[in-house]
Chains A and B, each alone.
Chain A
Amino acid sequence: MDYIAHLTLNTGIFIILAVSLNLINGICGQFSLGHAGFWAVGAYTGAAYSVYMALPVPDFINLFISCIVGFISAAFAGVIIGVPCLRLRGDYLAIATLGFSEIIRIVIVNLDVVGGARGFTNIPNWSNLFWVYSWVVITIIIIANIINSTHGRAIISIREDEIAAESMGIHTFKYKTLAFVIGAGFAGLAGSLFAHAQQFLHPNGFTFLWSVIILLMVILGGLGSITGSIIGAIILTVLPELLRFFGETISQWRMVVYSLLLIILMLARPGGIFGKHELDIKSWFRRSKL
């Protein structure tokens, strides 16, 4: 039971990570490979708040504050990294964001207050299913509401054709930065929830590999689809656990299995499971009436 609860909790955290990365990569079309870096910033700052500065208030309020701390510091890191990097395109942007997220990790390794290379211990166990999934819902609502507004359409237009968007009076750099910063912020929030579930953080837990896995979740579900990112996150958190049933060797080959899965998917459905579309329950009912 404990195992299932833990897995469900992790799934929620990865849903937040995937949905927020989807805003940057899928909705805005900016190829970022630095999500693990923002996740780490949020995890460490959120945990640092709880360990060193927690207020004498109920735990859930402290958790809330630490989530906000995680969000704001990761968003701030997003500004610092986004402003220079978002002038780059495609592969260059991917490489630059990847580089920055590794820099973040190396900074953490050398920061003794948060444990450095030994890891950050004694983080209070404040995360639970209720709060994680509350944040999952809040994240999805906020990001979906932004996407379905004039600001979201501005962000989407950049993905569709940046020059045309700029020619329509859209300040493309501002909106690219906005999408990047909001995405980074929510990754930070997920980081804080993660820290208070694990109670222990280590810089090696935030390597570039995690950026790739989060990106895989987004691509698997369909770049640009929120529902897709959610499904992608669920599949790629549950799948490695299922692989364990097939024994230790298969489980060690998990990345190979991912790659195969991805290749098969790209051959069968190049746009991901959902393409750019959202799961629309209402339309299912409409169809079923026929």
Chain B
Amino acid sequence: MLDNSVILETKEITMRFGGLVAVDNFCIQLKKTDLIGIIGPNGAGKTTIFNMITGIYTPSAGDIILDQKSIKNRRPAVITQLGIARTFQNIRLFKDLTVFDNIRIAGHFRMNYGLLSSVFRNKKFHSEEKRLENETLELLEIFDLSDKKNYLAKNLPYGMQRRLEIARALATRPKVLLLDEPAAGMNPKETKELTDLIRWLRDKFQIAILLIEHDMKLVMEVCEKIHVVDYGMQIAHGLPKDIQGNPKVIEAYLGTQ
């Protein structure tokens, strides 16, 4: 049975920074396996939307609902534990740690032993560490990073760092994955691979994905629905083909003559 109830909803969220309204009454609804894109010119407020959903900023107004519960005043760590994971526009890996540790850290909150077990290295410690190790290796395999597991994250090529960041987000076992410009800085070949990866992730893990992207080809190809923001306002939303021809969108991108 296909379960397509709403998993994440933002209700007229607004973010003000002093006098600047970075995001104005933004509304979006994600169903359980939706793949939705957010596009808009630079400074439109896209990343700010992600920062509100993940609790890095608390919205000045409005509400955010995950699984029928408000997560508006929760701290980022709790929101991640409740099922929203993200990547960052300017990659935020643990640069000086290995690929393996980057992923392991994302499994931390699901670990089930206390500080005393760490000190005394009891059975629970070993079994939990073993479980985490296996899960980590499995994920590295899926993302084709197994042979790089002992590399420091900073030593990976750029495209691979992006991939690792997505893998790390998935290691938190999210219900909703937020990707902030995952194709930025990638070459056409890497972008093509990413396009396939994103689709495949949604199908394999059965998660909702919200994608910010400047690469129109990728967005149009992969997203089922698109929201367009400009100066913090949502100026259009709908199917990719409708967005492409929308005069307001064209104006936002090209400016008025």
A binds B: yes
Chain B 113-124 interface mask (CB, 8 Å, partner A; 1/0)? 101011111000
For A6, list chain B residues within 8 Å (CB): none
Determine which of A142, A152, A153, A164 lies in contact with B92 in the assembled complex, contact meaning CB atoms within 8 Å.
A164
Within the assembled complex, what's the spacing in Å between the Cα atoms of A146 and B125? 11
CB atoms of B77 and A153 under 8 A apart: no
Tell me which residues from 145 to 200 in chain B have a Cβ below 8 Å from any Cβ of chain A: 168, 172
Q: A156 interface residue, CB < 8 Å from B?
A: yes
Interface size on B, residues (CB 8 A): 38
For B168, list chain A residues within 8 Å (CB): 168
Nearest Cβ in chain B — how far from A154, in angstroms? 5
Smallest Cβ-Cβ distance to B114: which chain A residue? A151
Binds A, one of B26-34, B93-101, B204-212: B93-101
For B46, list chain A residues within 8 Å (CB): none
For B86, list chain A residues within 8 Å (CB): 167
Determine which of B76, B118, B121 lies in contact with A166 in the assembled complex, contact meaning CB atoms within 8 Å.
B76
Chain A 150-161 interface mask (CB, 8 Å, partner B; 1/0)? 111110110011
Chain B 45-56 interface mask (CB, 8 Å, partner A; 1/0)? 000000000101
CB atoms of A163 and B56 under 8 A apart: yes
Q: A169 interface residue, CB < 8 Å from B?
A: yes
Chain B 84-116 interface mask (CB, 8 Å, partner A; 1/0)? 011010001111110001001111110101010
* Number of A-B contacts defined by CB within 8 Å: 94
For B120, list chain A residues within 8 Å (CB): 145
User: In the complex, which of the residues B85, B93, B97 has the most CB atoms of chain A within 10 Å of its own CB atom?
Assistant: B97
For B81, list chain A residues within 8 Å (CB): 169
Q: A127 interface residue, CB < 8 Å from B?
A: no
Q: A118 interface residue, CB < 8 Å from B?
A: no
Nearest Cβ in chain B — how far from A270, in angstroms? 14
CB atoms of B108 and A145 under 8 A apart: no
Tell me which residues from 152 to 209 in chain A have a Cβ below 8 Å from any Cβ of chain B: 152-154, 156-157, 160-161, 163-172, 178
Query: With A150-B111, A150-B132, A153-B101 in contact, do A167 and B94 touch (Cβ < 8 Å)?
Result: no
Q: List 14 A-B contacts (CB under 8 A).
A: A146-B118, A149-B125, A149-B129, A157-B97, A164-B94, A166-B75, A166-B76, A167-B77, A167-B85, A167-B86, A167-B92, A168-B109, A168-B172, A169-B80
